[in-house]
Amino acid sequence: MSKNFDYTIVYVFGPELSEEKYFNDEVLSREAGEWVKIGETSYRGDLDEVSEDSMKDCAMIRIKNESRTGLPVTSKIYDVFIFPYKVKTDDLIRRRLSCEMYNLESSMQNNRHLGEDKYTIPAGQEFVYGVRRSQIKYAVQSFDHDLLTDPDNADHIEDIIKICNNNNKIIQKESQEEDENVAMSSRKPNLNLDLILSEGDEVILTEDGDNKVVIDENGEPITAKYKGSNKFECREEVGRSSYFAKMFLNKYAGKNFVTVNGNEYWTFNGQKLTSLRKNQ
């Protein structure tokens, strides 16, 4: 380990409005303005005392110092991982992702008065599009595997094992089997439907959050009534939007979802539920 720093924190963050899609393992689309930024910062401290919160606090200090990259939307940390100290660890993680990297055009527009030397490189190299969380998890796990098998790490193998166990806890935290009624049952939903729907309000399932309504085998649209507390009643069953969306999109719309953000597909008065978030 370095004499200057003990560890490297690699953080993943993106638009707050894309958090549900990220944790539902849906592809983050550049065309939809979705992305993640993978960055790094140095960490001093005892590995036995490190926590997800302490890593996020450390990452936030770095992110705030890089505000010149001009994030055009409210953003939030999604994941944090820890590794032995080494500069450019975030580059090594990004290289393992099957995606392309682009300049963040909105960042360039928002920071044109700062000069290219201050924003083009950070935005262009660290913002990544077209990925899923499962790809990022795989990149981290493969990186951990290489650390464990690298003979140069033999003298630090106990620390390496602790590092891998810590990262695995982060990875597994949001990866529980989604066999209950809700694709996001393992965490508190970001979208509080009680603030935008009243009990008895009817929502309609669409194929892509647009006007193409999902129809069953009898030619009837798939609808649900809001029950409160982020739950719906649909065809004599009570559950959350993600549970019903996955069931009926796979059955009637030719989808093959394992997890899905249902609020992107259920609409109320012609608007998908995520679009109504602004009323919260």
Query: Domain residues of the chain, as ranges?
Result: 7-173, 193-279
pLDDT given for residue 4 in this prediction: 56
Mean pLDDT calculated for residue range 7-23: 86
Q: Which of 103, 114, 81, 85 shows the shortest CA–CA distance to 12?
A: 81
Please write the tens of the pLDDT for every residue from 46-75: 888 888 888 988 888 887 765 545 565 677
pLDDT given for residue 268 in this prediction: 93
Mean pLDDT calculated for residue range 103-112: 44
Local structure of residue 207 (DSSP, 8 states): S
Mean pLDDT calculated for residue range 8-25: 85
Please write the tens of the pLDDT for every residue from 199-254: 999 999 999 877 799 999 999 999 999 999 889 999 988 888 988 998 899 899 98
Edge-to-edge strands of the sheet including 75-84? 75-84, 7-15, 36-43, 127-128
239 neighbors 203 (Cβ within 8 angstroms): no
3-class SS of residue 178: coil
| Highest mean pLDDT, choosing among 68-72, 94-98, 274-278 | 274-278
Burial of 45 (0-12, 13-18, 19+ CB in 10 A): middle
3-class SS of residue 266: strand
What whole-number distance in Å separates Cα of residue 73 and Cα of residue 23? 19
Please write the tens of the pLDDT for every residue from 157-175: 888 998 898 888 887 765 4
